[in-house]
Structure 1
Amino acid sequence: MDFGLADKTAIVTGGAGRIGSEDCRVLAQEGTEVVVLDVNHEAAENVADEINDGDYAGTAHAVECDLTDREQVSDTVAALEEETGGIDILVNNAGMVDARDRLENFDDEIWDRDMDINLTGTYNITKEVFPRMKEREWGRIVNMSSMAGWQGGFGQASYSATKAALIGFGKTLALEGAQSGITSNVIAPSIVVGALADMPIDQLEQMDEHFARIAKATPMRKLGTEADVSNLIAFLCSEQASYITGQVVGVTGGIDLFSF
């Protein structure tokens, strides 16, 4: 199926990361010009080089940007708009997920860091891109939330709070962009672990008991892959998804279902 993305330009924040890089690859496969935006320029360049040197219909280039620096974000988006002719797709993927502690022991600095990166960083770049999409009367925004944003996460106060906020933010964008040809949707994955997803649970237990417990609790009895998320992103950015907006879509293998 042709998703109609061959003439589009996309920014993927956190584009050098595990999920973000796969987002970049899948969008490039659809012919999109992809901006691999990340605070780690060398890692972003590696992803862009892989796409440009590979068998992809689209192209990529690396851009270093700190999403918590509003002036830098503003300058970066302005330069990209001029260079590319306009940003059509924004995938808000950047985020921190490493903090884990009970609330009474939670590090205040980690809380502030996660708010700055996961939530305010998303706000900063979206605020720059969104008005330009409205002027062109076309745009696709996808926010990366999490099951922790839907249902909470034990020991993940900052992560679950920011991911829950991204759901409300995404729905607000859907309302404000609906009459300007802009859709905004939110993806809420469970655990995605690449090659480990196909590993039998007994083998997974020997590598990571936490992952194994989640796989056992998942009706499909397996974990997800980065491609499960990225393929959905490509669809939500497509012309075929033009009537889908303000939705939170779980990529979970059914773990969010009540079962007994």
Structure 2
Amino acid sequence: MDFGFDDKTALVTGGAGRIGSEDCRVFAEEGAEVIVLDVKEDAAENVASDIEANGGSAHAIECDLTDRDDVSGTIEALREETGGIDILINNAGMVDARSRMKDYDDDIWDRDMSINLTGTYNITREVFPAMCEREWGRIINMSSMAGWQGGFGQASYAATKAALIGFGKTLALEGAQSGVTCNIVTPNIVVGALADLPVEQLEQVDEHFARIAKATPMRQLGREEDVSNLVAFLCSEQASYITGQVVGVTGGVDLFSF
């Protein structure tokens, strides 16, 4: 299936991360010019170099999403270089905080709000209006099961991921008559090659992962490509009538089961 990305520029925030880098590779394989945007320049360059070594087109860009001047300058430079951003994947975010509310660190709360939510707003604010003017655009907000169902010890993460759902639906409404769609993807935990392990072996590697796998009807965790393949489809011409949707990649963990 041809997704229609040959003349498109796709920007992936957090592009050096596990899901972000897989998003970048899938878009490049489908013919898009990829912008690997990350606060870690060396890591972004590694992803871009790997894509180019495999015949794709990619550029590594260092940018701090919490710095509005940096974001504005970066997008202006990219607009001049590429002609504009057609696809924006809001993937950047922090997920390392684990603490009950009584012990929650105010600095962690503020950090997660700044990166996960306000950082997403900052870059979308720079990209979205131009998409509407050109009457074509695709935005994906990367949420999480924690944004749907909460996350024990993850107050700041769950709150920001829930907010990305409301933010994404608002973008979908505002872009609907301008050819711009926005959808929200909510993965279960993704663990790469560890997803191939049976639960009994996974317990020896990470008890937390094993508990989630046991609670998942498919009895396994996800892979990065499970998420990225959906992301690419939702940005394709074939998905032009899909907007404002929250789509899970969960193995059924969000289903009621007993």
Q: Matched residues in 1 for 2:110 and 2:187: separation?
A: 24
Which residue of structure 2 lines up, in the alignment, with residue 36 of structure 1?
A: 36
Which residue of structure 1 lines up, in the alignment, with residue 27 of structure 2?
A: 27
Give every structure 1 segment of 4 or more consecutive aligned residues whose post-TM-superposition deviation is greater than 3 Å: none
Alignment size in residue pairs = 258
SS of 2:3's equivalent?
coil
Please state how far the C-alpha of 1:9 moved relative to its aligned partner.
0.1
| TM alignment of 1:76-155, pairs within 5 A | 76-155=74-153
Which residue of structure 2 lines up, in the alignment, with residue 170 of structure 1?
A: 168
AA in 1 matched with 2:187:
P
SS of 2:117's equivalent?
helix
AA in 2 matched with 1:43:
A
Q: Matched residues in 1 for 2:193 and 2:47: separation?
A: 19
Which residue of structure 2 lines up, in the alignment, with residue 50 of structure 1?
A: 50
Q: Matched residues in 1 for 2:169 and 2:198: separation?
A: 37
Write out per-residue CA displacement over residues 178-210 of structure 1, whole angstroms, 9 at most, x where no aligned residue.
000000000000110000001111110111111
Please state how far the C-alpha of 1:49 moved relative to its aligned partner.
0.2
Which residue of structure 1 lines up, in the alignment, with residue 186 of structure 2?
A: 188
Q: Matched residues in 2 for 1:168 and 1:180: separation?
A: 19
Write out per-residue CA displacement over residues 232-255 of structure 1, whole angstroms, 9 at most, x where no aligned residue.
000000000000000000000000
AA in 1 matched with 2:49:
D
Please state how far the C-alpha of 1:214 moved relative to its aligned partner.
0.7
Q: Matched residues in 2 for 1:135 and 1:83: separation?
A: 18
SS of 1:255's equivalent?
coil
Please state how far the C-alpha of 1:44 moved relative to its aligned partner.
0.2
Q: Matched residues in 2 for 1:117 and 1:103: separation?
A: 20
Q: Matched residues in 1 for 2:221 and 2:152: separation?
A: 19
Q: Matched residues in 1 for 2:57 and 2:231: separation?
A: 18
Q: Matched residues in 2 for 1:236 and 1:86: separation?
A: 19
Which residue of structure 2 lines up, in the alignment, with residue 243 of structure 1?
A: 241
Please state how far the C-alpha of 1:6 moved relative to its aligned partner.
1.0
Runs of 5+ unmatched residues, structure 1: none
TM-score, with structure 1 as normaliser = 0.99
SS of 2:66's equivalent?
coil
SS of 2:109's equivalent?
helix
Which residue of structure 1 lines up, in the alignment, with residue 69 of structure 2?
A: 71
Write out per-residue CA displacement over residues 88-108 of structure 1, whole angstroms, 9 at most, x where no aligned residue.
000000000000000110000
SS of 1:126's equivalent?
helix
SS of 1:143's equivalent?
strand
Q: Matched residues in 2 for 1:13 and 1:126: separation?
A: 11
Q: Matched residues in 2 for 1:72 and 1:61: separation?
A: 17
AA in 1 matched with 2:19:
I
AA in 2 matched with 1:221:
R
RMSD of aligned alpha carbons: 0.5
Please state how far the C-alpha of 1:78 moved relative to its aligned partner.
0.5
Which residue of structure 2 lines up, in the alignment, with residue 4 of structure 1?
A: 4
Q: Matched residues in 2 for 1:206 and 1:87: separation?
A: 44
Q: Matched residues in 1 for 2:188 and 2:222: separation?
A: 7
AA in 1 matched with 2:157:
Y
Which residue of structure 2 lines up, in the alignment, with residue 17 of structure 1?
A: 17
Q: Matched residues in 1 for 2:213 and 2:153: separation?
A: 20
Question: Sequence identity, in percent?
Answer: 80
SS of 1:259's equivalent?
coil
